[in-house]
Amino acid sequence: MKIAKTLGQFIIEKQADFPYAKGELSRLLRDIGIAAKIVNREVNKAGLADILGEAGTINIQGEGQKKLDVYANEQFISALKHGGECCIVASEESDEYIPIDSEISKDAKYIVAMDPLDGSSNIDVNVAVGTIFSIYHRKSTGGKATIDDVLQRGTEQVAAGYVIYGSSTMLVYTTGKGVNGFTLDPSIGEFCLSHPDMKIPKDGVIYSINEGYYAHFPDGVKKYIKYCQVEDAKTNRPYTSRYIGSMVADVHRNLIKGGVFIYPVTASAPNGKLRLVYECNPMAFIVEQAGGKATNGYDRILDLEVKELHQRSAIFIGSENMVNKAEEMMACFSPQLTKKNFEGLVELQ
Ligand code: AHG
Ligand code: MN
Ligand code: MN
């Protein structure tokens, strides 16, 4: 039987790609892998242990936190604190960024932004959830790292990844040299390389969008949905609609099979729902590295200016040809939204 390469072995092997990094990034990725295994253990027990349901708290975005949101947040923060390679953690579940100023982290060079549990509304019903992370170099020198170290454009990411806690658990990541996927082998407790050099098909037949909000979508998105539903043998239409409601799971499926995931601006979410720093940017980095595309309907996600930690953005992400087509529809039917900050979205209704 062929022995699979573990995540740890792969990371060490790839360390040579970053001669300047002296192993810190490798250790950081290792720490994230460890936290992912701990969260995976709890997600797998959901239903048995008393970890389902609401935590009774609300995050800065006004969303009720699940117990597992809080648990995953604590586990990742704690793993990053103990690892000593990270000087700031920024998280969906923490209002402000968290400086890490313990003795072992005083020379830490990296910033980690994360969505500790993505799709958490699905956790109570055994549907796949995920973790998303994004890693930046600290920009400032000397003194304490600041919010400016966090608010970097997506193009500045040195690594990004996600973990999907699905029918099997996978960790997928990029350091800007392609995308690799590792499946957790529960019998040995290791992530093993199962999807080397992942590539997203240029085209696909899956579109993922919450069509329940159709009435609130910009015309460009409505036209694209109609385009997906029209019969045309040459382009394999009508396409298939798949929407899990966990971005990680939807994007992961599309990465493997080809497809587009869209969360546009809507009348009720005039800047989009998903967060730029720890949802859109890392997923955009991964999908681009796999040969796909990610935009807000007009501009490349990774180039967007980051002004706030919990800033939101629309996202169109996936197979290049599908994103291009959706963008074409936006340019044609929703040109009024091209303003960078989509203000005045009342026009939508
Ligand atoms: P989170 O659980 O981290 O708040 O993210 C949920 C996100 C994303 O995973 C998903 O694609 C989207 O919200 C679903 O939103 P709708 O229910 O509005 O479709
Ligand atoms: Mn999320
Ligand atoms: Mn979340």
Same-domain status, 280 and 306? yes
- What confidence category does residue 49 fall into, taking pLDDT thresholds of 50, 70 and 90? low
123-127, 237-241, 335-339: which range is least confident on average?
335-339
> What number is the average pLDDT over the span 244-273?
96
Same-domain status, 174 and 283? no
pLDDT of residue 340: 44
Task: Give the chain's domain count.
Answer: 2
Same-domain status, 188 and 326? no
Residue range(s) defining the domain that contains residue 230: 206-348
Q: What is the mean pLDDT of the chain?
A: 91
Question: Does the pLDDT at position 214 exceed 90?
Answer: yes
Of all atoms in ligand 1, which is nearest to the CA of residue 210? 19
Among the three residues 148, 167, 195, which one is the final residue of a domain in this structure? 195
Same-domain status, 217 and 300? yes
Same-domain status, 231 and 276? yes
Same-domain status, 185 and 309? no
- What confidence category does residue 19 fall into, taking pLDDT thresholds of 50, 70 and 90? low
Question: Does the pLDDT at position 122 exceed 50?
Answer: yes
**1 within domain boundaries:** no
Nearest ligand, measured from the Cα of 247: 1
Same-domain status, 166 and 237? no
Nearest ligand, measured from the Cα of 243: 1
pLDDT of residue 336: 75
Same-domain status, 64 and 189? yes
Same-domain status, 38 and 185? yes
Beta carbon of 245 within 6 Å of any ligand 1 atom: yes
Beta carbon of 288 within 6 Å of any ligand 1 atom: no
Query: Which of the listed residues 121, 123, 251 should we mutate to test ligand 1's pocket, taking the one with most ligand atoms within 8 A of CB?
Result: 121
Query: Which of the listed residues 118, 207, 213, 316 should we mutate to test ligand 1's pocket, taking the one with most ligand atoms within 8 A of CB?
Result: 118
CATH label of the domain that carries residue 164: 3.30.540.10
Distance 246 CA to ligand 2 centre (A): 7
Beta carbon of 115 within 6 Å of any ligand 1 atom: yes
**342 within domain boundaries:** yes
**216 within domain boundaries:** yes
**85 within domain boundaries:** yes
Same-domain status, 27 and 161? yes
Q: What is the C-alpha to C-alpha distance for residues 316 and 265, in angstroms, rounded to an integer?
A: 11
Question: Does the pLDDT at position 341 exceed 80?
Answer: no
Among the three residues 171, 195, 219, which one is the final residue of a domain in this structure? 195
**211 within domain boundaries:** yes
Beta carbon of 118 within 6 Å of any ligand 1 atom: yes
Same-domain status, 27 and 96? yes
Q: What is the C-alpha to C-alpha distance for residues 258 and 251, in angstroms, rounded to an integer?
A: 9
Distance 287 CA to ligand 2 centre (A): 16
Q: What is the C-alpha to C-alpha distance for residues 16 and 276, in angstroms, rounded to an integer?
A: 30
Read off φ and ψ for residue 323, nearest 5 degrees. Answer: -65, -40
**184 within domain boundaries:** yes
CATH label of the domain that carries residue 336: 3.40.190.80
Nearest ligand, measured from the Cα of 61: 1
**191 within domain boundaries:** yes
Of all protein residues, whose CA lies closest to atom 17 belonging to ligand 1? 245
Same-domain status, 29 and 178? yes
- What confidence category does residue 343 fall into, taking pLDDT thresholds of 50, 70 and 90? very low
Among the three residues 131, 165, 195, which one is the final residue of a domain in this structure? 195
- Read off the pLDDT of residues 296-338 as tens digits, 9 standing for 90 and up: 999 999 999 999 999 999 999 999 999 999 999 999 999 977 5
